[in-house]
Amino acid sequence: MKITVTEKKIEFKKELNKLDRFVIEFTSLLNNLKMQYVIVSGYIPILFGRSRTSEDVDIIVEKIDSETFRRGWNTISVGFYCINTKHAEEAYEDYLCSGISLRFAKKNTFIPNIEFKFPKTDLDDWTLKERREVVLGSHRFSISPLELQIPFKLHLGSEKDIEDAKFLYTLFKEDLDMNLFRDFNRKLKTQSLFQRYLQ
Residues of the chain with pLDDT under 50: none
pLDDT of residue 1: 78
- Whether 157 maps to a domain, the answer reads yes
| Shared domain check, 101 and 27 | yes
Domain end point (choices 108, 126, 144): 144
Structural domain including 162 reads 147-199
For 47-100, how does the pLDDT look when each residue is reduced to its tens digit (9 = 90+)? 999 998 889 999 999 999 999 999 999 999 999 999 999 999 999 999 999 999
| Shared domain check, 170 and 118 | no
pLDDT of residue 7: 85
- Whether 16 maps to a domain, the answer reads yes
| Shared domain check, 137 and 158 | no
| Shared domain check, 66 and 127 | yes
| Shared domain check, 113 and 77 | yes
Total residues belonging to the chain: 199
Number of domains in the chain: 2
